[in-house]
Structure 1
C-alpha cells in the first residue's frame, strides 16, 4: 500500500474520563475500578476523507490504525426510492455493507464485519509474534479469516459447530488461519469460552471484541459514510444487534461528528432490534435494568438455535458497563424492539423486491423493526432515517462460483479443559 502515517490519537476511559496513550494493544484502562469501555480521541477533530481507492481507510483520520492493508472496501450510503416509497418515508438512506457492485459495494465477505477486521488488523504491530484469537458466531470469523489470510496475519478462530456453514470463501485460505469449534449444541457464548481457554497460553492474544477501539471505530464507518453522503447526522439509526457493539460505535461516531461541526448537532436515536425468541437485551431494556436479567443457559441455547439471525445470539453483550449499549440508548433516546423470523423473512423479501439485492437475516430484522416503527407512528415521515444493512449480496456474489469451506482443525466438547485446549491449539501453530 501507499506510504501511510499511523493515525494520531489517545485513549479515554468512559467511566472516569482519564486520558492516556495507547501502549500497543490496550483494551481497557487498567487503573479504572469499574467495568468501562475506553474510547479513542483523535488528533484531527475534523474528518478529512481520503480517496475512494483507499477503501475503508478513506476514513483513516478516525481509525486507530498503524498501516493500510490490501483489499478493503468502505460501506456505501445511498438514498432509497422504492423501499422509501413503500414505507412512506421521504428521507430514507440505506448504508449497505456487502456485495452489490451496482451501487459500488464490493465487500466480498458480504458483511459489515469487514469494517471491523480491516480496522483491527491494521492496528496490529507488524512485528507482533503472537497469534490473534477471534470468537465468532459466523460473519466476523469469515471477515477476519479473509483479511488475515490475504495479509498473512496468524489467526485462531473459535466458532460453534452449528455455524460452520458461514465459513465459505471463493478461494482457499492461507494456512496462517486456523479454526477450532465447540461441538454441536453449543452457541456463540460457548465459542467465546473456548477461545478464552486458548488465551491462557502466552502464544495467543485476544482481539477483544467490543473492548477493542479498532473494532468499534471500524464499525463506526457506517455512520461516517452516511453523514458524509447525506451531509448531516441522521435523525434515526436502525440496526439489528447481537452484542450492540455496532450501535455503541454509531453513538460514538455521532459524538465525533458533532465535534467536527459540519454535520449538525443532533443526536440520532438508536433504534436497535433483536430476533425473537432470543431477546436478552430487549428484556433488560424493557425492565429499565442496566444489568442483564437471568437467562437459563439451556433456554438460551435453544432460543439461539431457533432464530434465523444466528449472529445476533450473544448471551454476554457489552450492555451495562460504562459506555455500553444501555448508556448509548439512554443518551440518544433510543429503543429496543424485536422481530420474529417470519417478520424478518418478509422484510428480506421486500428489500430484494424494492432494492434489488438479497440481504442477511440480521438486516431483515432491522428492516422489520423499521417497518413496525413507521406503522406505529414512532418515526416522522420527513425524518432523515439511516437503515444500516449489515450484510447482503451473498447470493449475488456466490453465483457461478465454486465455494471453499474452512474446516475446523479441532472440535472440542463443551466441557473441554484448559490444559487440553492450550496444548492442542499451540500445536496448530508449531
Structure 2
C-alpha cells in the first residue's frame, strides 16, 4: 500500500462516515460524529488494507499476463476468505464492543443481515480493485509489446534502407569497370554503352527506393541490361527468358536480376568458343536465374554485396527463402515471387503476430467477464435491498440472482475453463493443417 492509496482510503472514510452520520444516526452530537468516523475508518482501512496486501502478494507471485487463470482463481478464493474474515471482525467490534449488543444474536436477525450485506459490498469493492489491477497489468504488457514491435520495425527499416543504399554505388562501380574495359577494347562500343548506361541508371535511381517492383518491370530492365552486356561480350554471352505470363504482375525485390546477372559475369569466364548461357525463367512461385558453370580460376576480391544483399532484403520482407543450387555443370539461384506487396514495417514473425492478436482477444474476453461480475455484485445487492424494503415477506430477488448467477458461471467457464482451450486447440489444428498443405 502506497501513500496515494492511504489518502484515497482516508477520503472514502470521510465521505462514508459523513453520509452515515447525516442519514442514519438519530442523535447528532460531536461525540457521535467522532465515534461514527472512527467506525467508518475501522471498516475502510481494515478491509482496504487487507485486500490490498492480498492483491499485492498474489500479483508478486502470479502474473496477470502469464498466469491469468491461476491468478484469477486464487484471487477469487482469497478475496472471499479475507473479506468474510475482515467484515465479521469489523462488525463484531462495531456491534458487540461499541454498541454492546448480545453476541448470541451476531449471526441472526439484523446483525446477520448486516453481515451479509457488508460482505457483499466488500466483495464488490474487491472485485473492482482486482479488475483494475488486471487491466493495468495488461495495459502495461500491451504497451511493452507495442514498444518492442516498433523497435523491431524501426531496426528492420534501417537495415532495409542500408541495403537499398548499397545498390546505387554498387551498380555505378561495376558499370564504370565495364566502361573502362570497353574504352580500351572498342571505343565505339564504349560510346553506345555510355548511352545505354544512362538509361539504365535512371531506372536504378527510380527503383532502388522501392521495396518491391513487378516481375514485368524487373524483366524489362533485365533485358535492357542484357543488351548492354551483349554490347561488351557479343557472342560470348547468350540470354534466354521464359517467364510465365501469370507471374508478370507479381513482385520481386528491385534490381535483383541485375545483381544476379552481374554475379554470373563476374564469377564465370565467357568466350566465343565456350559461351556463357544465362537463362531466366519462373517455376513453382520462384524466379530462377541459371547459368552453365564456367568458374574463373582467379576471381578478383568482391565487396560481397550482390547475392547477400538479395538474401537480406528478402529476409526483411517475407519468410520465404532465397535458394542457391550449385553442381559441377550449373549454378542456379531461386528468388521468391511475392503475390502481394508487403512492407518492411511488417517484420514481426507470424507466430508473434498471432500471439499478439490472441493476447488482445484474451484481454477483451477477460474485461467482458469482469464487467459482468462487477455488474452482478453491484445490481444484486441493490435488488435485495429493494426487495427487503418493499416486500420482505416474499424473497423475489432469488430469481434474478439465480438466473444471472448461472449466466455468470457460464461466462466464467467459457473464459477460464475447458471451452476456451478447446477452441484454441481447434484453431491451432486448422492452422497446422493449412501450414502442412502449403
Give 1 or 2: higher strand fraction.
1
When normalised by structure 1's length, the TM-score is 0.24
Higher-RCO chain (CA-CA 8 Å, sequence separation at least 6): 1
Q: Which has the larger radius of gyration?
A: 2
Taking structure 2 as the reference length, the TM-score comes to 0.24
